[in-house]
């Protein structure tokens, strides 16, 4: 990465541990970070099954002093557009002031005997900054069951730019800890921007 620090070295090691095209992923992330200092990071590798194919995907999240950086890398099999397998890497840099929500959902076993500090078995981190919104519409109705008038539509708009799920069983306890630490750092950084 651009700067040599413990955090930068930790990010590089996490990318290499993922084992998912580390040179390609690291280069894309380094280019997006530029000269910024890394405050926190999360590397998450996910394997999915698509029909008879196994596909891998890695997401790297980086928090700097004034930006939130998201990097996605996907692999593709040979197809009509390419005679050889290939990978696609994208990065997005978001100013911290644009982040509108950081949602952390925790799943804990045996909540009646939960002890503070116990690691959740699953964490879902959802971050919204307005790039992607989902609108769910349905016909509006009134309370009269015999009414046939058109009342228009009603619905909800939800910011859903990034949702990342990590679990102790699938990703290991260290990745769950890292997800919680990253979420806390991002929440604190966005709170500092609004003060």
DSSP string, 33-54: HTTPPEEEEEEEEEEEEETTEE
pLDDT for position 134? 61
How sure is the predictor about 153, in pLDDT bands with cuts at 50, 70 and 90?
confident
Cβ atoms within 10 A of the Cβ of 96, count?
19
How sure is the predictor about 167, in pLDDT bands with cuts at 50, 70 and 90?
very high
- As a whole number, mean pLDDT of residues 9-32 equals 94
- As a whole number, mean pLDDT of residues 131-141 equals 71
Please enumerate in sequence order all residues whose Cβ is within 8 A of that of 100, keeping only pairs 6 or more positions apart, or say none.
128, 129, 130, 159
Give the range with max mean pLDDT: 7-11, 112-116, 131-135: 112-116
Helix/strand/coil (H, E, C) string of 12-30?
Answer: HHHHHHHCCCHHHHHHHHH
What is the residue whose two structure tokens read 């009269």? 144
Q: For the chain, what is the mean pLDDT?
A: 88
pLDDT for position 131? 65
How sure is the predictor about 187, in pLDDT bands with cuts at 50, 70 and 90?
very high
pLDDT for position 160? 61
pLDDT for position 1? 43
Report in angstroms the alpha-carbon separations of 100 from 36, 95, 134: 22, 11, 15
pLDDT for position 3? 46
Token digits of residue 189: 């950084």
How sure is the predictor about 156, in pLDDT bands with cuts at 50, 70 and 90?
low
Note the Cα 181 to chain centre separation in Å: 13
Closest CA to 180 of 122, 112, 93: 122
Least confident of 16-20, 68-72, 130-134: 130-134
Give the helix ranges, DSSP H, for the chain.
6-18, 22-33, 168-171, 173-194
Could you give phi then psi for residue 46, rounded to 5 degrees? -130, 135
Report angle CA 152, 154, 159 to the nearest 5 degrees: 140
How sure is the predictor about 108, in pLDDT bands with cuts at 50, 70 and 90?
very high
pLDDT for position 2? 42
């Amino acid at each position: 990465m651009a700067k040599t620090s413990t955090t930068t070295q930790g990010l590089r090691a996490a990318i290499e541990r993922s084992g998912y095209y580390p040179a390609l992923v690291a280069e894309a992330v380094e280019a997006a970070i530029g000269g910024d200092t890394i405050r926190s990071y999360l590397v998450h590798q996910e394997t999915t099954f698509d029909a008879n194919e196994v596909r891998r995907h890695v997401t790297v999240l980086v928090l700097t002093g004034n930006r939130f950086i998201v990097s996605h890398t996907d692999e593709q099999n040979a197809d009509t557009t390419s005679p050889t397998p290939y990978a696609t890497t994208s990065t997005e840099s978001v100013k911290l002031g644009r982040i509108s929500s950081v949602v952390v959902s925790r799943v804990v076993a045996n909540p009646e005997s939960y002890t503070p500090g116990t690691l959740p078995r699953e964490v879902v981190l959802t971050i919204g900054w307005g790039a992607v919104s989902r609108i769910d519409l349905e016909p509006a109705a009134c309370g009269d069951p015999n009414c046939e008038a058109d009342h228009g539509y009603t619905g909800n708009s939800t910011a859903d730019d990034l949702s990342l799920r990590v679990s102790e069983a699938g990703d290991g306890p260290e990745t769950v800890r890292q997800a919680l630490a990253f979420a806390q750092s991002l929440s604190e950084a966005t709170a500092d921007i609004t003060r």
